[in-house]
Structure 1
Amino acid sequence: MRDPIDDKAFRGALGRFASGVTVVSTVHEGIDHAMTASAFCSVSIDPPLVLVCSHKNSRFHEAVLESGVWGVSILAEGGRETSAWFAHRGRPLESQLEGVEHHRGPETGVALMDEGLAWLECETHAVHDGGDHSILVGSVVFARVRDEIDDPLLYYRSHYGRLVHTDASEKTVYRPPTTQEPA
């Protein structure tokens, strides 16, 4: 049997994975629930599926399981305060959207944050056990992109960051360095 993994090293390794920042929301029995999440990614293009991880002890977790619908607001750089607010445990549930600019999704009615670069609305497709989290896989029923800004909010080692745009992309042709034969 292996020795247990060093918790500090594990958390440190995870913190070195830069990610975007989202606010994931649901509405259950007329009450809005939301949380900040960086554990979000695409799963499939056909059919359109995404996933987000939710801590099993959070208020959001039970609400999203019961409602079966959720929204994802992929935050722009200007969404730092919104991200910090929805990451704060113990905020008042009934008034948590007061002062946060948002709109309702046309398909599910969930709150979507106006400070987003893009928005998705999902119906829960599957829920998987993920230790102290549940892995929620959502079937995307609505998607919208905001074209007038292109600066995402990033998260790295417990700090917010910004993207430095370069000319390189995944379509840039890679040319390995040439090596010379030894004489």
Structure 2
Amino acid sequence: MSFLVEIPTPIREDLNNMLLLGLWHGRVTPPSSSLLDKIVDNIKLLITTGINIYINNKMMHFMVNVQLHTGDFPARVKCNHLVNHNGFHACSRCLIVGSRCPQPCANHTLYLLSEWHNVLKQNPTGLLLINECLDGIKYSHTYNRRPRDFSTFLKWKASELRTFMLYMALPILVKLSLNMPDCFPTL
């Protein structure tokens, strides 16, 4: 898919404003080069020569520039020659091969959050502060699921836990330590 950068963001992602660069439908996936080579050659030609379009019976010349290549994860895997999107070490950003966590540590995130929750249950102001922080965050449209009240974290879905642990836990912990210094050890 492709779109014009000059169109504002919410309208740009509308299906009517996107250009289909290529589509493959079949039982067997071909090598990415069979589709991408033609697209890349055409884009190179457009970059060097530009494109002429008639608008109101007047020819306008536009220059073409590529800023970004993206797609859903299976498409990026195919284009970048990575392991299948659900395979081992399939991330395009990771340079380190991870290791599987042994079974006794499998739920360590839930354990840490439950211990944190047990401490905060004794201090309702802390729980209220976390919930206010969660409610006050302006989430990007790319977040699929936003964490609910921290008091119900045992019922959170995995995506809520991941969002909380990766993006929110540290800032909330800092805010808690500033507002409730007696509950945190000094370092």
Scaled by the length of structure 2, the TM-score of the pair is: 0.21
Larger Rg: 2
Normalized per residue, the structure richer in strand is 1
Scaled by the length of structure 1, the TM-score of the pair is: 0.22
The structure, 1 or 2, with the larger RCO (C-alpha pairs under 8 Å, 6+ apart) is 1
